[in-house]
Amino acid sequence: MALSKRVVVCQQPNYFAWLGYLEQCATADTLIFLDTVQWIRQGRQHRARILPHPSAASRTGGAEFTWLTLPVRGQGHRDKPLREIEIAGPWASDHWKTLQAIYARRPFFKTQLEPLVRPWLESQGEAQSKSTSFSEVAISSTRLCLEALGFAPEIRLSSQLPERGRSTERLVSLCQAVSATAYYTGVGATYIDSSLFRDSGIELVWQRWKQPEYDQGRATRKTHLSVLDALANVPLAEIRSWLEPKPWGPFGEQTRQYLQSP
């Protein structure tokens, strides 16, 4: 029987991540969220980078971007996995007000960003009376975007899988737990020891995706912004076309046919 590749991607939970993150997620057959790693206070796990308000950006020396930040209880975070880091207080309504102030005049705010994100934020606001895990909120934001774009990888949590070791050894063990034949990773993962994947018989593939430029309504276009920015400026179908595996890509349908085993 012919067996095609099973592509696995492991990601730390990120709140409304940038498009390159979502391209990896969209490529995966199985997407594993690493909810057992540590929270990074200065990282992007709990915050989304968006454009600043036009009035702030126009000032001399004005900010090039701003953050939508989830307030987390960071005390003792070095001793806790992400799944145990909790949201510290109200945030959802403030995030919506910020998005509205910055993007309300963009072409797809009313037809895409608002109907997709506003109900989700309102539901998060209703849940704030309960103890909410930061990683649950971040993962939910990624699920929301993937579903809207028509991608449906199998989603697993590292906390629910057998894992061993640290760094590359941990990734290899997670891949083995879900019968991966290939692991797709970003070029920033310079810590990876490729020999461990090779010895395990798992193909290691590096991301070579480049973000397309699009009109952001500003004189200078920025990259590595949250998907929220694209949702306000670009049709969903076009965003999907940027992220979906291409027939000529490492995991495209044509490539899969050639890589199948008899």
Q: What pLDDT score does 189 carry? A: 79
The domain in which residue 181 lies consists of 7-254
- Residue 1 lies inside a defined structural domain of this protein: no
Q: How many CA atoms lie within 13 A of 168 on its CB side?
A: 14
CB 102 within 8 A of CB 52: yes
Instruction: Give one word for 162, left, alpha or beta, with left for phi > 0 and alpha for psi -120 to 50.
Output: beta
Q: Over the chain (262 residues), what is each successive 10-residue block's mean pLDDT?
A: 72 96 96 90 86 72 84 76 87 96 97 97 78 88 98 96 89 96 88 93 91 92 95 98 76 41 27
Residue 261 lies in a domain: no
Query: pTM value?
Result: 0.89
Three-point CA angle 149, 154, 158, nearest 5°: 120
Flag whether 259 is in a domain.
no
CA atoms within 13 A on the CB side of 260: 11
Instruction: Compute CA distances 137 → 35, 70, 141, 164, whole Å.
Output: 12, 9, 6, 26
Count of domains in the chain?
Answer: 1
Predicted local confidence at residue 128, as pLDDT: 64
Q: Tell me, yes or no, whether 244 lies in a domain.
A: yes
Q: Is residue 260 part of a domain?
A: no
Angle of CA points 37, 65, 60, to nearest 5°: 150
Residue 202 lies in a domain: yes
CA dihedral 61, 107, 242, 187 (to 10 degrees): 20
Single out the residue of 18, 118, 38, 137 nearest to residue 79, CA to CA: 38
Q: What is the structure's pLDDT at 255?
A: 42
pLDDT recorded at residue 187: 81
